[in-house]
Each structure stands twice: as structure tokens, then as C-alpha cells.
Amino acid sequence: MIAPLMLSALLGTWRCTSPDAPGARFAYSFFRNGTGSIALLDARGRVRATISRFTYAPDAGDLLYRWKDAVTTLHRIDASGTRFRDLGYSWWHDGTWAAPPTQSRYDCTRE
């Protein structure tokens, strides 16, 4: 499981890029109340649109997200110091974890 210290280390906002959306910039945020969000940023680094909101919890070394649209995903996370990477995910589908047809991965640094 993810140690509580690691979860607290994720708190705040991270500035991100994604190999799945070249040229786009994102803000990936984790809040103390167990919620988070991913937002698309404009060229000046301001939030242009919130892509989605989620709740999060540790699960066997990964992070379990429940998205606002009720989909549950399990994210592979790598975090150390000022770097955070969301390496991809599986989703709960027909009673099992399955790889979705497309992935959203993020490479982030502390804001």
C-alpha cells in the first residue's frame, strides 16, 4: 500500500505534460479531503477548463480513483521529491480490472 507519508506528499497542485496530448499542459491537484482534479491550462499556465474531478484512496501500492462520472480507475503512480508521474491506469469493467482502449499518462513537477 501507499504509505500515508506518500499520500501527503502528493497534496497540492502539480504542473504536467502528457505524451498522449503533445503540446498540452495540465494542472493535476490532490486535496486533503480526498478529492482531486485535472485541468487543462492555457499558454500562460492559467486554468482553461477542468477536465474532471475525482476522489482518491490508496490501493495495493497504486491510487484508486472514483471519477465524477462514476467510473473507477486504478492508477500506477511514481512519485519522489518534486516529481510525480501517472503511468497509466486500468478501469473496473465487468467485475475485473481491464486496460482501457486509450491511456492518459502525465509527467508532473511541483507547482
What pLDDT was estimated at residue 25? 94
User: Which single residue is written with the C-alpha cell 512519485?
Assistant: 79
First to last CA, the chain: 26
pLDDT band at 5; cut points 50, 70, 90: very low
Q: Does the model's pTM come out above 0.85?
A: no
Structurally, the chain folds into a number of domains equal to 1
Number of H helices, E strands in the chain: 1, 9
pLDDT band at 2; cut points 50, 70, 90: low
As a whole number of angstroms, the distance between CA 102 and CA 96 comes to 17
Domain limits for position 64: 4-110
- pLDDT per position as a tens digit, 13-55: 999 999 988 999 999 999 999 899 999 999 898 999 988 889 9
Task: Provide the 10 A C-beta neighbour count for residue 63.
Answer: 23
